[in-house]
Amino acid sequence: MISLWVYEKKLQYPVRVNGPNPWLAKMILTQYGEPDGELAASLKYLTQRYTMPLSQAKALLTDIGTEELAHMEIIAALVYNLIKDASLEEIKRAGLDGYFTDHDRALYFVNASGAPWTAAYIQSKGDPITDLYENMAAEEKARSTYEYLIQLSDDPDVTDTLKFLREREIVHFQRFGEALKLTYDYLERKKYFY
């Protein structure tokens, strides 16, 4: 039997924290549940792949979409490790008392302000050029968010992980740019554009 999926049971990048920091967890949580966070990116790319005319673009969206799931796992590990040993007083001081009331220390898809994730964050237009431009913009927005989180972080181990994630967003942006050029050239040859 041929395996179609290989899952290595370790994080793509190691997650270490220097101790409880609910405030930093609250900030990082935004990459779990915001419009440009890891869940939205993963679902968007894994949906858009079906309307791509080139197998290379479909494969790229599959690769990056599944990598975004790995990034979601890294974010979850960061947030959980930053709050798991926090006292209730630390959780209250960080403004996570409402979150704690609803979820204890469990992970839930919200942004740093507490707004829940929604499927409305996913864009899939069906036009391959439009979708690839959308993805390039999404990767740049995620890169910006990681830049802001790096500036806020006071934990060198967390900062290291955030830098890794930021660099992956840059690589994804570049790869989507390559796919855009290939797709545009292909569609131009097929007289897709008028």
For the stretch 68-77, pLDDT in tens is 999 999 999 9
Residues above pLDDT 90, as percent of the chain = 91
Handedness of CA 62, 68, 73, 76 (dihedral sign): negative
- Count CB atoms within 10 A of the CB of residue 177: 15
Is the pLDDT at 147 greater than 70? The verdict is yes
Which pLDDT band, with edges at 50, 70 and 90, does 60 fall under?
A: very high
- C-alpha triplet 89, 94, 100: angle, nearest 5°: 70
Tell me what pLDDT residue 191 has.
75
Terminus-to-terminus CA distance in the chain, angstroms? 47
Q: Report yes or no: 31 and 142 within 8 Å, Cβ to Cβ.
A: yes
Query: In the structure, what pLDDT confidence band is assigned to residue 2 with cuts at 50, 70 and 90?
Result: low
Burial 78-99 (b: 16+ CB within 10 A, else e): bbebbbeebeeeebeebebeeb
Condensed to tens digits (0 to 9), the pLDDT of residues 76-94 reads: 999 999 999 999 999 999 9
More confident residue, 182 or 192: 182
Helices (H), the chain: 22-28, 30-33, 38-48, 55-83, 88-93, 97-103, 128-152, 156-189
pLDDT at residue 193 tops 60: no
pLDDT band with cut points at 50, 70 and 90 for residue 3: low
Angle in degrees, 0-180, between the axes of helices 38-48 and 128-152, rounded to the nearest 10: 160
